[in-house]
Amino acid sequence: MELKEKEEGHNVSFDEDGKIILKKKSLVSKGKKSKSSGGQFELRVRKDLEEKGFIVDKWSNNIDLETKSIHPAKRKYNPFAKVMTIGTGFPDFIAFQKREDKRYEIIGVEVKINGTLNRIEKEKCKLYLKKEIFSQILIARKVKEKNRVRVEYTDIKEILDRMR
């Protein structure tokens, strides 16, 4: 009986053990909008990099901060769509661009709408640069100008220099 009162403002679901999980409907819809706008912005960044002459692919690896080694990123299962999501690595993209003398520039691109990284992501970037896996890591940020959306890139070295 008490469950019906809470159902109005919440989504009710059950976990594997049969325990009730209540989620606020407003937060669920907000999360759906954030996920879809983030996916659309990732596509915009990919298209922008390809227009600049880069060959872009999804980076499906991650780096372990404890062992300082690269391993395949864990795949996430979506029980509603019944699919496994592949693109959960850090950074989001790896981009190649041919330079002179048969050399390639390899950069990592992390897509963040607000342009901010958390402490763990900054540590991972520092480790990628230290191990020379990427020559450069860019943070793609969404900038709105009037009715246009523009992609702005920030080099991670600028952000790491500001860190303590």
- How does pLDDT run across 56-95, given as a tens digit for each residue? 998 888 888 888 888 888 777 666 666 656 657 888 889 9
**CATH number corresponding to 12-162:** 3.40.1350.10
* 6 Cβ contact partners less than 8 Å away, ≥ 6 residues apart: 12, 22
Average pLDDT, the chain: 81
Q: Is the dihedral of CA 70, 90, 31, 33 positive or negative?
A: negative
